[in-house]
Amino acid sequence: MLIQRFETNERSSQAVACNGFVFLAGQVARDAPNAPIDVQTRDALKRVDALLAKAGSDKTRLVSAVIWMADIREFPAMNAVWVDWLPSGGGPARAVIESRLAYPEFRVEIGIIAAAKP
Amino acid sequence: MLIQRFETNERSSQAVACNGFVFLAGQVARDAPNAPIDVQTRDALKRVDALLAKAGSDKTRLVSAVIWMADIREFPAMNAVWVDWLPSGGGPARAVIESRLAYPEFRVEIGIIAAAKP
Amino acid sequence: MLIQRFETNERSSQAVACNGFVFLAGQVARDAPNAPIDVQTRDALKRVDALLAKAGSDKTRLVSAVIWMADIREFPAMNAVWVDWLPSGGGPARAVIESRLAYPEFRVEIGIIAAAKP
């Protein structure tokens, strides 16, 4: 069984493809730290798109998502961006919960499992 | 590779079957908001049973569970219901942690990965 | 599809092998409760190694990791031990977030998905 890793450094890989699935590291708004939640969500999802493309999948093939939010009261604003981004009828099994994140400049972190393209 | 989605709306699917696994969205006590933790756990697990059945699995085939609790001090009461529900010898790899949930009327949210039936 | 469970009790299994993957329960420092974060991280990872070996995998085959920390300010000390333990170029897709854990004597809990050996 082949394991393919993408954007690997000493601590993690941003994406790992294995056995028909693509696993993404928790994605944050690298290009928009300290921005409002809608901007951060959009930026993190842009990263999700790029990583899925690298690893052989795309957003029509999401199977699971965990969304960690620094402040769950921002759920509606996050969710509006998510819904706008998500392909119609393509929703993954999702959980959204509040957790303090590793770096205070980020308000949302998105973990994804997708199916690899055939 | 086929991806089957169940109870899909604009933001997510309650279950996704893909590549031999079934992924459930975080399940809460939809029919018992604001109820005590034991009632909420039982109700959420009833939803888990129904979704696994729809998606081609059942509770004898659980492989992974993450249980998010609004108040971890309710762990014993949650766990008693969980143990009662779980088939003997069928325990998944589990993590139980505290997180503020998206809606304050829910005290527990249960995320499941199960193996599909052959 | 075979599901193999390891160290199973009434509530969970410490490892489950299924369909080419190995899922671990959240691992804590069983042998080092109340120890500082570096000692706890090292102890939990020792458990990860042992369980992966039992279930037919090893730390060169990690695909996903979620690390829950009782206090995210301990991230650097946890991460130093993690990096030291991780095989070069073998990083999984990782998310590190803060969550109150089930037992106050533990400061870190590590959830792992690995690829099974062929």
What is the tens place of the pLDDT at every residue in B39-49? 999 999 999 99
For a pLDDT cut of 90, what percent of chain C falls above it? Answer: 98
Domain range for A103 is 3-115
Q: Which residue of A has its CA nearest to B106?
A: A97
Q: Which helix (H) or strand (E) holds A53?
A: helix A37-55
Banded pLDDT at C1 (limits 50, 70, 90): low
User: Which pLDDT score is estimated for B1?
Assistant: 64
Which residue in B19, B92, B98 is closest to C12 by CB distance?
Answer: B92
For residue C48, what are the contacts with CB-CB under 8 A and spacing of at least 6? Answer: C24, C27, C59, C110, C112
Contact B101, B70 (CB under 8 A): yes
Structure tokens at B79: 């766990």
The whole-angstrom separation of Cα B29 and Cα C2 is 31
Is residue B1 situated within a structural domain? no
Q: Among residues C72, C37, C94, which one has the least CA distance to residue A103?
A: C72
Q: How many domains does chain B divide into?
A: 1
* Size of chain C in residues: 118
Q: Give tens-digit pLDDT for B7-52.
A: 999 999 999 999 999 999 999 999 999 999 999 999 999 999 999 9
The beta strand positions in chain C, using DSSP E, are 3-8, 13-18, 21-24, 62-69, 93-98, 100-101, 108-115
Q: Please report whether residue B8 resides in a domain.
A: no
How far away is chain B from the Cα of C6, in angstroms, using its nearest Cα? 9
ipTM greater than 0.90, yes or no?
yes
User: Is B60 inside a domain boundary?
Assistant: yes
Closest C-alpha to A97, from A109, A83, A113, A112: A109
Give the CATH number of the domain where residue B24 resides. Answer: 3.30.1330.40
Nearest to B102 among A20, A64, A72 (CB): A72
* Contact state of A94 with B11 under an 8 Å Cβ cutoff: yes
3-state class percentages of chain A: helix first, strand second, coil last, to nearest 5? 30, 35, 35
Q: Which residues of B touch A88 (CB under 8 A)?
A: 10
User: Which residues of chain A fall short of a pLDDT of 50?
Assistant: none
B106 near A CB under 8 A? no
Contacts of B23 in chain A (CB under 8 A): 63-64, 92-93, 113
